[in-house]
Amino acid sequence: MERKVRDLVDIAAPGEPEKKPVIIGFQKRSKSYWDSIFVGHNLHLTPHGWDFTNNKGPSQLLFTSTGLLEYIEKKSLRRFNCKSINFHECDFNGEFVSEVSRHEISFGKCSFTKCDFGGGVWRGVKFSECKFDRCSFTMAEFQDCIFYECEWIDITLSGTETKLPNTLISNPDKFISAAYTNLDKKILSKYSKNPSYQKMRLEGTKAKFSRTLLKNAENHGDDDAYYGAVKTYLNQSLKSKLHQSKYEIMHGKGFVGHGMNFLAACLELLLLNMSGFVNCWGKSIARPAIIGILLTLAFGILYGYMLDDFQKGLIKGFDITFLVGYTKYASADNPVNIQALYGINAFFGLWWYAVLVPTLINRISRVN
């Protein structure tokens, strides 16, 4: 059943020629100042069917699930594939259900610009290589849907009103990066808000959705999406802490405590991305193995140059990097610079080992 979210307006008065009913959408465009579709006034949207034979670029129209169902039944379709249609300032309202036993619904290479999905519930629908530019997903629900290789630009999400149960997004990093909030000082000042507060809230919303996307990716067989979600969640959770600490410091709330949290998050973010690069965020075993070999060779060549014997240098590099012979070379009699070099070599070896082994175990455990 469609959500009752719009009111009919502009109905013809008695004695006047009959006008086609027009519909005013959600108040997002006129009142939701943080939304990407906010323009300061409402749009008059005309209900439209789903036959795009003569209209490849629908603009300022309302599309309903009831209209789609009627079109599917009229054409006796088992599959409705909306392909290469450019929607501009359109709204989607109702419950769109895609079922293999009845009818499948999919969108391929479509473009959605300044569209509002907030009036719809989508179940089992697939969007392939679609573009979403300045679209609003607040008050929208996508259940068991797939967004495959879609392009995202300035989309609006709500941590409490956008639902994505068991929905797979193949490029979660781009989806999260595209999340938008209005940072225009003139507009925000009218509502007693400021850009730093809006940015802080946005980063928190991104962190929440990153965790949701990771949980959803665990239930699907797309490894690229899963490890992409791992990278996105780990980074975004720290970025959220960074922006929150920064906001609190700027407003004089616990400078020392939040300052320490800020520095700790920065360090953690650096180490996390270095480690993530080594094992491709858990996806690759080959990359850390190759990096381990290169690390051993690099220190081995350096030791060979110092000893004027590259064979012994390579053996020494292997012993220290893998920590199997560190004690043979570490001595209090060595110069400080040599002790520091051995320590750096051992540290990188230990760090590499700490990345490789859990990666291997995690890959085996995930398969099981």
Helix (H) or strand (E) holding 238: helix 223-250
- Give the predicted TM-score (pTM) of the model: 0.81
Strands 91-97 and 61-64: parallel
Instruction: Return d(Cα 276, Cα 351) in angstroms, integer.
Output: 12
Of the listed ranges 81-85, 114-118, 252-256, the one predicted with least confidence: 252-256
297 has a pLDDT exceeding 60: yes
Q: How far is CA 52 from CA 9, 85, 86, 134, 219, in A?
A: 25, 8, 10, 23, 35
Task: Taking residues 129-157, report their average pLDDT.
Answer: 95
Instruction: Return d(Cα 82, Cα 34) in angstroms, integer.
Output: 30
Q: How far apart are the first and last CA of the chain?
A: 41
Query: Residue 101 — very low, low, confident or very high, per pLDDT cuts 50/70/90?
Result: low
Q: For Cα atoms 210, 213, 216, give the angle at the middle one, nearest 5 degrees.
A: 150
Query: Residue 16 — very low, low, confident or very high, per pLDDT cuts 50/70/90?
Result: very low
What average pLDDT is seen over the chain?
86
Query: Residue 366 — very low, low, confident or very high, per pLDDT cuts 50/70/90?
Result: low
Structure tokens at 342: 């051995």
**pLDDT, position 362:** 81
Task: Taking residues 183-211, report their average pLDDT.
Answer: 90
Instruction: Return d(Cα 256, Cα 132) in angstroms, integer.
Output: 42
Instruction: Return d(Cα 156, Cα 264) in angstroms, integer.
Output: 30
Instruction: Return d(Cα 116, Cα 28) in angstroms, integer.
Output: 9
**pLDDT, position 25:** 46
228 CB burial (10 A radius; 0-12, 13-18, 19+): buried
Q: Where would I find the beta strands (DSSP E) of 192-283?
A: none
Task: Taking residues 119-132, report their average pLDDT.
Answer: 94
Instruction: Return d(Cα 281, Cα 125) in angstroms, integer.
Output: 29
Q: Is 63 helix (H, G, I), strand (E, B) or coil?
A: strand
Of the listed ranges 131-140, 217-226, 326-335, the one predicted with least confidence: 326-335
Q: How far is CA 94 from CA 65, 195, 254, in A?
A: 5, 34, 47
DSSP state of 243: H
Portion of the chain with pLDDT greater than 90, in percent: 51
Instruction: Return d(Cα 160, Cα 212) in angstroms, integer.
Output: 12
Structure tokens at 321: 């990097």
Q: Which residue has the tokens 């530019």?
A: 133
Portion of the chain with pLDDT greater than 70, in percent: 92
Task: Taking residues 165-180, report their average pLDDT.
Answer: 94
Structure tokens at 186: 């003139």
